[in-house]
Amino acid sequence: MPRITVSVDGVTYEEEVEPRLLLVHLLRDRLGKTGTPVGCDTGNCGACTVTLDGRSAKSCSVLAVQADGSEVVTVEGLARDGRWHPMQEAFHAEHALQCGYCTPGMIMAAIDLLRDDPDPSEEAVRRGLEGNLCRCTGYTNIVRAVRRAAAEMSRVPHERAPGAAEGREAAAS
């Protein structure tokens, strides 16, 4: 069985895995990182989104062996010194979640979105999050939250945004 080395939320793991094991199952079933849920198995809903070497990836559509040598950040690894990432704060402040099942993936995708477009329009947020589905909120508050976080992160650049512009460094720290 292949042996892989992968860093998840700053902790390095060496694991023997079946080649077919999905990254999300490595995270959830082997490493106990259950903060990242599975919503659809087909890469449509985005609930399982993590960052892989700083870029968002749907972990149900990545094999664990493909993550060999990579840095993975999940929603569990965003807080710094007990303080939430601005995106987490913004989702809370704008009531951008209800059941919360899509939230980990939505937050990770939104952080990646701001990396490409630090000040997105409403339209850009909607297009940028097209691959992350939410059944509860109707998205109005999610859009507000992402724009709120963008404003906050531009005010305090990078201070608390490990998953965004400095994904690798933060994950390795």
Partner 1 sequence: MTEQLDAGLVAGRIAESGQVSEPSAEREMGRARRRKEDARLVTGRTMWTDNIQLPGMLYVAFLRSPMAHARITGVDVSAARSLPGVVAAYSGRDLAEEQGSLPCAWPVTEDIVIPDHPPMAVDEVRYPGEAVACVVATDRYRAADALEAIAVDYEPLDPVLDMTEALAEGAPKVHEAGNRAFTWKFAGGDIDAAFRDAPVVIDRAYVQQRLIPTAMEPRAVVATTDGDGFTLYSATQIPHVLRVMLAMTTGIPEHKLRVVAPDVGGGFGSKLQVTAEEVLALLLARRLGRPVKWTESRSEGNLTVHHGRDQLQRIAVAADRDGRIRGVRVELLADMGAYLMLVTPGVPLLGAFMYNGIYKMDAYDFTCTGVFTTKMPTDAYRGAGRPEATFAIERAVDELAHELGMDPVEVRRRNWITREEFPYTTIAGLTYDSGDYEAATEKALAMFGYDGLRAEQADRRERHDPVQLGIGVSTYTEMCGLAPSRVLGSLSYGAGGWEHAAVRLLPTGKVEVVTGTSPHGQGHETAWSQIAADALGVPFEDVSVLHGDTSVAHRGMDTYGSRSLVVGGVAVLAACEKVKERARELAAHLMEASADDVEFDGGRFRVRGTDEGRTIQELALAAFAAHDLPGGFEPRLDAEATFDPDNFSFPHGTHLCAVEVDTETGRCAIRSYVAVDDVGSVVNPLIVEGQVHGGIAQGVGQALFEEAVHDADGNLVTTTMADYLIPSAADLPEFTTDRTETPATSNPLGVKGVGEAGTIASTPAVVNAIADALRPYGVRDVRMPCTPERIWRALAEAEVTVPAQSRAAVPSTSEIAPEGGAR
Interface segment toward partner 1; rule CB under 8 A; list 63-71, 86-94, 153-161, 163-171: 86-94
- Closest distance between partner 1 and the C-beta of residue 134, in Å? 7
User: Binding to partner 1 (CB under 8 A): which residues in 34-73?
Assistant: 34-42, 44-45, 47
Cβ 50 to partner 1 shortest distance, Å: 10
Q: Least distance (Å) from partner 1 to the CB of residue 57?
A: 16
Out of 102, 111, 149, 171, the residue judged to bind partner 1 by CB under 8 A: 102
Rule CB under 8 A: say whether 11 interacts with partner 1.
no
Closest CA to 60 of 40, 75, 78: 40
C-beta of 61 vs 69, nearer to partner 1: 61
